[in-house]
């Protein structure tokens, strides 16, 4: 856990968290698009 403390003292820690959050948001967005496409296909 000490490594995380050192990371967050520097900007790289927050940058890493930002990138991970951005990837999660993009994954969720693409997944919701995929679900809506497959839902329209079922009609």
> Using one digit for the tens of pLDDT, what is the confidence trace for 1-43?
576 676 667 778 788 889 999 999 999 999 999 989 888 776 6
* Three-state secondary-structure class, residue 10: coil
pTM over 0.85: no
Q: What distance separates the 2 farthest-apart alpha carbons in the chain?
A: 54
First vs last Cα of the chain: how many Å apart? 51
Q: Which helix (H) or strand (E) holds 16?
A: helix 11-42
Torsion angle of the four alpha carbons 13, 14, 19, 24, in this order, in degrees rounded to the nearest 10? 110
């Amino acid at each position: 856990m000490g490594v995380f403390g050192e990371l967050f003292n520097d900007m790289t820690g927050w940058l890493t968290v930002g990138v991970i959050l951005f990837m999660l948001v993009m994954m969720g967005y693409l997944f919701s698009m995929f679900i809506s496409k497959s839902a329209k296909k079922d009609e």
